[in-house]
Amino acid sequence: MARREIAQISRGKGSTVTLRLGGRTLDGPTVMAVVNRTPDSFFDKGATFGFDAAMAAVDRAVADGAEVIDIGGVKAGPGDEVDVKEELRRVVDTVAAVRERHPSVVISVDTWRAEVGDAVARAGADLLNDTWGGPDPELAAVAAEHGLGLVCAHAGRQQPRTRPHRVAYDDVVADVIAHVTAEAERAVGLGVRPDGILIDPAHDFGKNTRQSLEISRRLNEMVATGWPVLVAVSNKDFIGEALGRPVDKRGVGTMAVLGVSAHLGARMFRVHDVAGARQALDHVVALGLAPRP
């Protein structure tokens, strides 16, 4: 696909990009399961930090209907420093084991570091999920070199593992779209396959609750770019603050946002509760409120 055609898609012209990852064509609402190899993750508090626990979680997620497994080795928020060596120790063997045990599942790795991206590509990953919006400009080149997909996200130009403080945008949705489409076009220019790219507004990353809710209401504007949209809202703080719910009581709110996002055209959904999300999304499709695969 020519660069000019990609630019037209980013302005809402042309056909929607087909999504192909790991040899699979992903149509309709796709579930991405969160598996954190971290001792301090905000939701599961380290429940899948151990290797055996992580593999058991992968097995459950696949059985419950996840098409994509997203493996992370660094907590998103502030916490103990995790250097490249430690991140590699946490994720590379996990990727290799998942690839051996589940040959057809799409493996994603949540990282912003090119060195980690290169290592997990060699271990069998299919997708690099850069939730921090491109702080390491070499990550896209790594995806291109290995034929991997890439998630282009928006974090408001915040540094990794920082929380937003008095962030302001003239129009948060316009800022998100401008950033993620520019990152997608840059990735294509470096050789990343257009059919392996997703864009992600990254709710709560460089955004407050009001801004994350605005993105949710106007998600169709991101969908109109033509790039497949990834939504990662599972149990996040904007849901908790809006509903007055602690982190372990945000499941119903999460499902509500997933349903709205599917109706507005999102394609991939990063979640903790795979079985619940799969059922909710299938119901949205059955009701005729989201495209059938």
Of these residues, 193, 218, 270, 278, which one is catalytic? 270
- HSE-CB of 158 using CA atoms within 13 angstroms: 26
Identified catalytic residue from 236, 250, 267, 278: 236
| CA angle, 245 then 274 then 24, to 5° | 140
Q: Tokens 């502030």 belong to which residue?
A: 78
Q: Can you say how many angstroms the Cα of residue 207 is from the centroid of all Cα atoms in its chain?
A: 16
Does residue 207 have an active-site annotation? no
Sign of CA dihedral 259, 263, 269, 275: positive
Residues 233, 260 contacting (CB under 8 angstroms): no
270 assigned to active site: yes
Active site residues: 236, 270
